[in-house]
Amino acid sequence: MGAFLQSLRAESPAHTVEQAEQGFAIVRRANAATTAFNSLARSAIDHSGDDYVALPRTDGPASYDRVFIIPI
């Protein structure tokens, strides 16, 4: 498991982590800045490939509210 994937599992001021059977979701905190979570979500999407698949969910035309991560 890559270092970036491991770092996604650690909660931050911008996100919480919800465990699921097939993986986990990083979820924007209600009080988090949208730009901070969007940056994290875009990094998760950009780094997906060999270690995991990232499935983002938007809350509107330009913002993410969660990204489901499925380790490979």
pLDDT digits (tens), the chain, 72 positions: 588 888 899 999 999 999 999 999 999 999 988 899 999 999 999 999 888 999 999 987 779 999 999 999
List the CATH number of the domain containing 33.
Answer: 3.90.1070
Q: pTM for the whole thing?
A: 0.89
Domain count, the chain: 1
* pLDDT at residue 1, as a whole number: 58
* pLDDT at residue 44, as a whole number: 95
Nearest of 21, 57, 10 to residue 38 by alpha carbon: 57
Strand order in the sheet with 52-58: 15-19, 24-28, 64-71, 52-58
Helices (H), 1-72: 3-8, 34-47
How many residues are recorded in the chain? 72
Q: What are phi and psi of 55, to 5 degrees?
A: -120, 100
Look-up of token digits 């993410």:
64
Domain hosting 29: range is: 3-71
